Chains A and B, each alone.
Chain A
Amino acid sequence: MNTPFRAPGHGRVDRDTTLSFTFDGTAYTGHPGDTLASALLANGVHHVADSIRYGRPRGVLAAGAEEPNALVQIEAPFPEPMLTATTVELYDGLVARGLSGRGRLSGEPDTARYDTMHAHCDLLVVGAGPAGLATTLAAARAGVRVILVDELPQPGGSLLGSQERIDGAPATRWVGTVLAELDDCADVRVLQRTTAFGHYDDGLVLALEKRTDHLGAAAPAHVSRQRIWRIRAQQVVYATGAHERPVAFDNNDRPGIMLAGSARTYLNRFGVLPGRQAVVFTTNDSAYPAALELAGAGTRIAAVIDAREEVPEHWRTACAERGIGIRAGHVVTGTSGIERVTRAHVAPFRQGRLGGRQGIGCDLLLVSGGWNPAVALFSQARGTLRYDGGIGAFVPAHAPDGVRTAGSAGGAFTLSGALADGVDAARQALSALGRTGGTIAVPTTAPLPDGAPTRVLWRVPSPQDGHDGQDGSKQFVDLQRDATVSDVLRATGAGLRSVEHVKRYTTIGTAHDQGRTSGVMASGIVAESLGVDVADLGPTRFRPPAVPVAFAALAGRNRGELFDPVRVTALHPWHVEHGALFEDVGQWKRPWYYPRAGETTDEAVLRECRAARTGVAMMDGSTLGKINVRGPDAGILLDRLYTNLMSTLKVGRIRYGVMCGVDGMVIDDGTVIRVAEEEFLLTTTTGNAAGILEWMEEWLQTEWPGLRVHLTSVTEHWVTIPLVGPRSRDVLALAAPGLDVGNDAFPFMSWQDTTVAGVPARVCRISFSGELAYEINVPAWYGITVWKALHTAGSAFGITPYGTETMHVLRAEKAYPIVGQDTDGTVTPQDLGMSWAVSKKKPDFVGKRSFTRAENRREDRKQLVALLPADEQVLLPEGAQIIATSSIPEPPVPMLGHVTSSYRSDALRRTFALALVRSGTRRIGETLYVPLDGRTVPVTVTDPVLFDKEGTRRDG
């Protein structure tokens, strides 16, 4: 296939191998080593996409991550949106198309793997150009642990795109020698295709390694496609290079307009001539090598337009030898062309005035407005910047500890300067590490001819100035956002004075490229417009990620089932086998209910409730938090943390307890059993186990370190099985023949160590339903044996497994609150009607003093009550508001409280709810209203305990 723009004898692509790819429906070929952009340019394709706002044709402006224009969507082999053609490595079978600013996420699940690596090093070097390689080599010779990350497929950075020489040979030979030596260093890790994108606290740098993207369909499935490196570095050197910036002039967006240095890269790295006839527009010396190298490879350079009056003698001579004319003191004012630039309009520009225009035909317009050090990561690391008027760019000023730049990232734009700076950065980093050695001789380079300073020029005045492009011409600042000089002037005209505000008003710098080619230009134009010094305005703030990173890569393996740890009890497989549906409670999977074939949720829960109230039922209560409290002062600690008295509890007995914060609000409840004279075991709400342990440790360690107590979480040591219902005693008697299950021998709120189903067990007489109930605790390893044995023993009584939904209904019928559902951190024990659980004897405990605060003694506090809807079938939504009137008044509507729990009750044969209601206790008997679906539902306020208020059922 014909690739007409491949330059013979240039470039580092492998011409012996041909790769086929498709772009916008047309088949093309390229070679290994190409990017999608270089392969398109080799085929003469400049028009990559149309712009997002104006639909103008756009081409390839740059050769790397700074590319603002050439966004593509990859369709095959795996769909991926929003990539720059300049960074997509070409592979066989690539199918892509140009994007107008917006990509489209694939509807297909991504089957690739992504993972994360953690690494530590003494020195992290970002960028494997001349400076970064010099730094790495010097540090490696000192024997420190070095990681070198570089975004390109091979090291060399800018050297890959130049014809420069080091130590008298092509620079890439030096690169090869350095790499060979680094390869032999056990403590040096070199990561190619790896882009550092974020600098965080304490030397943490995140980098994205693209491991198999370049292999296309040939990528092995067992290798992760992308990897996030979390690198913790003592010292970081940013050798991130510099980005060339364009100059704004009329219609500076046509395909065929390219940064001069990028054209040089296309020639020298990819062997591609971006055009046949070029005009070069520059404000500095760096475009001359581009012009001369392209001329040497066959591009006709129609003219070099240099905005400066003085052009160094060296470049004048070199251009004259090539027959290239230089027009000093001239600028490009605009362009012509439809799909591609065909003509550059050139005019003298002196004392701020444009002279007469002249057109020069071209199919390539190279632009260089100077270079911006790539300081995004340095700046993220809180390095400060200062404006250097000599180059018209922001350069590093003050570096934070452990961070420095090297090479052109710090403004050292010459090769010799970059190499020397790289060696110096290594010396400083080693010194900071307290290491010696590691000096290397700075490699030698050809002596540089005298240069001339850059003329800082952000934009060329437009003949359209003041007419706002009535002829359709525009001066673009941010090509991706289609934002123009007029947009910037509109922002400053509207009174905006900060570049941050202008950025948000115009969206300049907010695209995928983060304004690498537009940000400083925008600052310059704002400064000109306001008549202030750009040094005082600064650039906009740099934030991570410096390059777009896929969420899949950030998630790594933490997706799907591994997104969050899942905790299951020892009985989990049984629940699954018996068709349980599960509810997430914190990280726990708890059986929600066990529907039978054809049963609805309501039917299943009503059936489970009926079994517990009329026969026997069992549930998995293993997730209850369990904390072992041991030591001579255990009782004292519990007395101080619970509202009621625990130290008087006798061994063998159980007490319900409530914990409050110092503000007097309920934070948890549960049972406490006294295991031995100096040992208690307490339970916490499932979701609160870790928090309560931390709460107890906090008081123990920070307030009462003298108490001789140890706290141990034993939640997962035990399987806990509540056996509930009038027939529970019969079932337990069968399963524990050695245990006297009678009320006298085994009264309510006591516990016994015994044997259940042949397994040592601790059985507690606790009830969270009001029914006769036993809670059987066995070591978790034996849990499934005991569960099955109880299930078998209960089969004659129709034993029914039940889940959390039934548990909630049963406890709500008895008004046992769930902390965190019926409370919300503003509820005291008194509000819950639990004054009985608050000790009057103890001189103090956590929360007690707050009970007497005026606010907590108000009679119109919200108190826990039950609500009975007048319509016995209406189920109030939890969270529903409660009002006093049957019609909803004008807002603000006075709210009396809200529904905290709401269920259908089998025992009551109706719906009911618990609610926190202002002055609720006093309102018992009143009718209130709950707005629901555009109407109000009348509800009767009642005492919260709706079932067996006398407690006649707990002893069977």
Chain B
Amino acid sequence: MQLIACPWCGEREEIEFHYGGQAHIAYPDDPYALDDEQWAQYVFFRDNPKGPFAERWVHSAGCRRWFNALRDTVTHEFLSVHDNRAERPSRTGTAPAAQHAEGQEAGR
């Protein structure tokens, strides 16, 4: 039973949280400017890196707040947690897959 540090509540057991997938995937500004394939990229495709990964979590059985976290997908270790309004932490830049995500976001 891992401990996850909610930015608002502090450390709580993982069963209080739900996973929200990759972070920093914004809803496209104009979905209708995208062709089907570009739209499908937003709807269906996510990165799956080995190593640090920027993710969304929600403290659903606690404060109900969404937040972002940087987690190592190999060790499951939470490297850091962030208010979801904060900028993406630069450490993701070390993982090739995360760089890909950056490119994807820039391209939307």
Contact = CB atoms under 8 A, between A and B. Distances in A.
Interface of A: 200-202, 204, 230, 662-663, 690, 694, 697-698, 701-703, 705, 844, 848-850, 853-854
Given A701-B84, A703-B27, 15 more contacts: A663-B44, A694-B18, A697-B64, A698-B58, A702-B56, A703-B26, A705-B84, A705-B85, A844-B31, A848-B31, A849-B31, A849-B32, A849-B34, A853-B36, A853-B40
5 contacts: A201-B3, A204-B1, A694-B60, A697-B58, A702-B84
Task: Name the prevailing secondary structure of the A interface residues.
Answer: helix
Contacts of B44: 663
B66 A697 contact: yes
A698 B25 CA distance: 13
Interface string B53-71: 0001010100011100000
B65 A698 contact: no
B39 A850 contact: yes
A707 to B, nearest CB: 13
A854 B65 CA distance: 36
Contacts of A202: 1-3
A662 B41 CA distance: 12
A201 B43 contact: no
Interface size for chain B: under 10, 10 to 19, 20 to 34, or 35 or more residues? Answer: 20 to 34
Nearest to A853: B36
Contacts, number: 50
A849 B1 contact: no
Interface of B: 1-3, 18, 20, 26-27, 31-32, 34, 36, 39-40, 42-44, 56, 58, 60, 64-66, 76, 84-85
B2 A201 contact: yes
A322 B66 CA distance: 75
Contact of B1 (A200, A701, A703): A200
B107 to A, nearest CB: 17
B43 A663 contact: yes
A34 B2 CA distance: 40
A701 B34 CA distance: 25
B81 to A, nearest CB: 14
A701 B65 contact: yes
A201 B1 CA distance: 6
B27 A850 contact: no
Contacts of B56: 702
A850 B43 contact: yes
A850 B34 CA distance: 11
3 closest A-B pairs by CB: A849-B31, A201-B2, A202-B3
Nearest to B65: A701
Contacts of B40: 853
B1 A698 contact: no
B77 to A, nearest CB: 9
A202 to B, nearest CB: 4
A853 B26 contact: no
A898 to B, nearest CB: 24
A202 B4 CA distance: 10
Nearest to B64: A697
A169 to B, nearest CB: 44
A702 B25 CA distance: 10
Chain B CB count within 10 A is highest, among A662, A663, A703, A848, for A662
Contacts of A201: 1-3, 76
B26 to A, nearest CB: 7
Given A694-B18, A703-B27, A853 B3 contact: no
